């Protein structure tokens, strides 16, 4: 019989109420199931035993057999430490505890043979081992032992209360004894045999008590695959439910707006990537399902024209369209870019933001409701309830990461049948992550920049090279170019950062004196009106240098600016550096990005700088960023569950993720309702995992 794994952990022999409480509080372990899924962080080879005379000054974990012959308390600056003299037939060493001393005194006996395990230090002419793992030799020999000793995740509290790694391993062993190590299979025979996977029971046994490196590796593969497989299955099913349940507006034709624009007014040849994405969007709009698509494309890859041409498809079918951007500056920029194109086509377009006048608003509201207004551009002012469309067919959101899911769904409600939705982002998310985070959106990618762009030259310079850098700036200004100089502004060190900014501004003012040079400064403490004034001076070319904090990161478009200097570049994250660099390289001139740093650099900073110098491919940069920071800081991951992975790692195991996604897709294609007998095990596991509701919706 197979034990019910939902049994509370209290029932496991050797656990009891106190330990159960601790396990719940510290490791979220409530049931047998949770305990089995507590996977080791790493493994240590414990087949070797050392004599004290053989110990080396290395940092390896070692195990030694011997006896405690004395305990002593030693006073130190704060509190005291407990020191045990530990000896074998070859010599003496010390065991040391800084915490939990009372417990140690009560539990460990003098002159009894123990196996101790841990790292050793060379201290006062002796080896000492702080907080060793200890086990009676007798027990040690009896225990289920394997070549690789698992090291489980733990917390300080657990260790202090005596729930050491050894105790966890013992509890785990007890669990395997009570269940006979037999666990219900959770993948189909098809998949298991095709991928030559170990059975669930074999994999669980060998991940906790590996018999060999090879079995350990295969066990980990099987369990990681399974973990990804069920996440992918869930995401794909969600997407399918969406497509089958949410009827979309059918745009039957490509009409005269689109064709006239394409044939007569397109200002340049579209890149192949733009053409491909337009085809993908066209296919969505011409199907019966509501489009919910994410368009990723690096800064400058030309997303706007794709957005505009998609809007034309809506207009051709008698619908309205809107384009929403996160800031007023960006909205205005979009509006200015589109208004000329619209005039040529006789399209009625307006802009609505927080600062639109009341009279304007009234006109806009009316024209929206009676259908005269065809395209509305704006900020989240568009989401207000007063803004009602006659028939909104397509809603486009730029810079998606600044808007939440809630806002996306608010747009849906702007029409009786939800409009098609296209979200655009210039912050590339690595594909592997996108698959997991945005699995419910379809994804299009513009992975090609328009032809003829000169790549931005990026260099790393140290503070001591500043004079050369200033000389370079002077040369560029002499050629008529403009320069950004950006300072970090980080909340925790705000006061100091402002000082750096102001010091920097002063020294730049000295090196670039008026009236020959004009300098703008913009930072977050300025009033909006002053900020705007300074910004406008730079945009109009009245000032040659813009000194700023990262407020200029999003949206500013000054094609004549050709140099981006980033001060203390080691303090910026990769995606921020990439976004900042994207402010230049917008005109015909060769552009430059200069990363200024001090001499002392951490390894991570060095990697970031080298990456920036090496590549301007946003996706490559995003991959490095993900490796450096982990998925936790990447937008959208918090809700997606990729952070709660128990054994797999979204960065290291991306090949397994890809394979899991492939098999999940294939499964749903061959057996969309999971009703084939051979897939019953998958259906059952899926339902077990508490996703009963989703699958029910999907089947009905």
Q: Give the interface with ligand ADP as residue ranges (CB under 6 A).
A: 268-271, 274, 297, 299-305, 426, 450
Inter-residue long-range contacts of 40-44, CB under 8 Å, 24+ positions, other chains counted: 40/150, 40/151, 40/152, 40/207, 40/208, 41/151, 41/152, 41/153, 42/150, 42/151, 43/148, 43/149, 43/150, 43/151, 43/210, 43/216, 44/148, 44/149, 44/151
Residue 43: Cβ-neighbour burial (10 angstroms; 0-12, 13-18, 19+): middle
Nearer to ligand ADP, 31 or 301 (CB): 301
As measured in angstroms, the least distance from the Cβ of 581 to ligand ADP is: 13
Residue 363: closest CA among 341, 393, 386, 331 = 386
> For residues 695 and 380, what is the distance between their CA atoms, to the nearest angstrom?
34
Nearer to ligand ADP, 297 or 326 (CB): 297
Nearer to ligand ADP, 88 or 620 (CB): 620
As measured in angstroms, the least distance from the Cβ of 629 to ligand ADP is: 23
As measured in angstroms, the least distance from the Cβ of 298 to ligand ADP is: 7
Nearer to ligand ADP, 376 or 426 (CB): 426
Residue 482: Cβ-neighbour burial (10 angstroms; 0-12, 13-18, 19+): buried
Nearer to ligand ADP, 304 or 482 (CB): 304
Nearer to ligand ADP, 300 or 418 (CB): 300
Angle between the 200-208 and 165-178 helix axes, to the nearest 10 degrees? 150
As measured in angstroms, the least distance from the Cβ of 446 to ligand ADP is: 7
As measured in angstroms, the least distance from the Cβ of 548 to ligand ADP is: 20
- Taking a C-beta distance cutoff of 8 angstroms, is the pair 430, 636 a contact? no
> For residues 517 and 438, what is the distance between their CA atoms, to the nearest angstrom?
48
As measured in angstroms, the least distance from the Cβ of 451 to ligand ADP is: 7
Strand ranges (E), 79-166: 80-88, 91-97, 113-119, 121-123, 126-130, 133-136, 148-151
Residue 569: closest CA among 591, 538, 601 = 601
Nearer to ligand ADP, 128 or 444 (CB): 444
As measured in angstroms, the least distance from the Cβ of 543 to ligand ADP is: 23
As measured in angstroms, the least distance from the Cβ of 262 to ligand ADP is: 13
Nearer to ligand ADP, 271 or 415 (CB): 271
Cβ-closest position to ligand ADP: 302
Strand ranges (E), 478-636: 482-486, 519-522, 545-548, 561-566, 592-597
Nearer to ligand ADP, 301 or 637 (CB): 301
As measured in angstroms, the least distance from the Cβ of 7 to ligand ADP is: 55
Q: How many CB atoms lie within 10 A of CB 126?
A: 15
């Amino acid at each position: 019989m197979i034990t019910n794994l939902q049994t509370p952990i209290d029932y496991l022999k050797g656990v009891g109420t106190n330990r159960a409480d601790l396990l719940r509080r510290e490791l979220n372990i409530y049931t047998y199931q949770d305990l089995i899924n507590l996977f080791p962080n790493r493994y240590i080879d414990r087949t070797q035993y050392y004599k004290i005379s053989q110990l080396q000054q290395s940092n390896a974990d070692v195990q030694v057999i011997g006896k405690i012959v004395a305990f002593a308390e030693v006073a130190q600056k704060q509190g005291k430490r407990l020191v045990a003299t530990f000896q074998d037939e070859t010599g003496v060493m010390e065991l040391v505890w800084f915490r939990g001393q009372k417990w140690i005194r009560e539990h460990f006996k003098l002159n009894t043979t123990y196996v101790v395990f841990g790292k050793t230090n060379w201290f006062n002419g002796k080896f000492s081992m702080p907080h060793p793992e200890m086990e009676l030799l007798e027990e040690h020999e009896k225990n289920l032992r394997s070549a690789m000793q698992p090291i489980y995740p733990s917390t300080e509290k657990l260790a202090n209360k005596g729930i050491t790694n050894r105790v966890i391993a013992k509890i785990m062993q007890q669990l395997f004894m009570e269940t006979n190590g037999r666990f219900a299979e959770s993948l189909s025979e098809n998949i298991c045999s095709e991928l030559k996977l170990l059975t669930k029971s074999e994999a669980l046994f060998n991940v906790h008590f590996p018999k060999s490196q090879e079995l350990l590796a295969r066990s980990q593969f099987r369990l990681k695959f399974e973990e990804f497989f069920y996440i992918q299955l869930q995401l794909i099913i969600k997407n399918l439910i969406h497509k089958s349940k949410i009827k979309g507006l059918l745009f039957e034709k490509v009409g005269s707006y689109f064709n006239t624009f394409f044939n007569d007014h397109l200002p340049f040849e579209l890149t192949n990537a733009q053409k491909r994405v337009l085809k993908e969007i066209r296919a969505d709009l011409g199907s019966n399902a509501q489009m919910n698509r994410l368009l990723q494309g690096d800064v400058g890859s030309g997303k706007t024209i794709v957005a505009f041409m998609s809007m034309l498809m809506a207009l051709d079918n008698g619908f309205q369209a809107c384009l929403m951007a996160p800031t007023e500056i960006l909205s205005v920029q979009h509006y200015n870019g589109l208004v000329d194109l619209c005039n040529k086509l006789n399209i009625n377009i307006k802009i609505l933001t927080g600062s639109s006048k009341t009279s304007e608003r009234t006109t806009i509201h009316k024209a929206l409701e009676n259908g005269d207004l065809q395209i509305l551009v704006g900020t989240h002012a568009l989401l207000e309830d007063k803004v009602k469309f006659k028939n909104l067919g397509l809603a486009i959101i730029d810079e998606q990461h600044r808007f939440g899911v809630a806002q996306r769904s608010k747009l849906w409600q702007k029409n009786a049948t939800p409009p098609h939705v296209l979200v655009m982002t210039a912050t590339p998310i690595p594909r592997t992550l996108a698959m997991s985070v945005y699995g419910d959106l379809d994804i299009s990618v513009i992975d090609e920049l328009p032809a003829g762009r000169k790549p931005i030259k990026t260099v790393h310079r140290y503070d001591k090279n500043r004079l050369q850098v200033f000389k370079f700036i002077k040369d560029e200004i002499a050629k008529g170019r403009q320069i950004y100089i950006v300072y970090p502004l980080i909340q925790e060190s705000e006061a100091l950062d402002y000082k750096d900014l102001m010091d920097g501004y002063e020294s730049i003012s000295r090196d670039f004196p008026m009236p020959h040079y004009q300098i703008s400064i913009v930072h977050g403490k300025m009033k909006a009106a002053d900020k705007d004034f300074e910004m406008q001076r730079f945009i109009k070319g009245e000032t040659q240098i813009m000194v700023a904090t990262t407020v200029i990161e999003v949206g500013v478009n000054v094609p004549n600016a050709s140099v981006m200097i980033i001060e203390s570049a080691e303090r910026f994250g990769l995606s921020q550096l990439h976004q900042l660099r994207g402010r230049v390289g917008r005109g015909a001139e060769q552009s430059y990005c200069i990363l200024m740093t001090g001499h002392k650099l951490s390894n991570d900073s060095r990697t970031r700088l080298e990456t920036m110098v090496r590549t301007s491919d946003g996706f490559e940069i995003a991959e490095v960023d993900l490796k450096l920071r982990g998925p936790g800081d990447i937008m959208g991951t918090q809700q997606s569950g990729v952070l709660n992975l128990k054994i797999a790692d979204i960065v290291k195991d991306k090949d397994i993720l890809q394979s899991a996604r492939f098999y999940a897709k294939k499964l749903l294609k061959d057996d969309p309702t999971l009703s084939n007998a051979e897939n019953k095990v998958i259906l059952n596991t899926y339902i077990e995992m508490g996703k009963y509701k989703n699958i029910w919706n999907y089947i009905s």
